[in-house]
Amino acid sequence: NYGNTFISINNIPVRGDVNADGALTVADVVALQKWLLAVPDTHLANWKAADLCEDERLDVFDLCLMKRELLKNN
């Protein structure tokens, strides 16, 4: 944990890191929210990182878990 972000160590993917920058941040939450709302030109570099429910689909439940994960360690 580095400040308000979660950083990848040894190239292990970070849960929720949909923009693949190595950290779970508010930017990841915003990206998933935009994707769920079908905002044009919204892309997820690593959609599987957002599948926090581990059910092979992305939905509002994954978004809620992502927000919880981000807030949990702040």
- Please determine, for residue 1, whether its predicted confidence score (pLDDT) is greater than 50: no
Q: What confidence tier does 3 reach under pLDDT thresholds 50, 70, 90?
A: low
Taking only the tens place, the pLDDT of each residue in 4-57 is 555 555 567 799 999 999 999 999 999 999 999 999 999 999 999 999 999 999
Q: Are 35 and 60 in contact (CB under 8 A)?
A: no
> Is 26 exposed, middle or buried (CB count within 10 Å of its CB: 0-12, 13-18, 19+)?
exposed
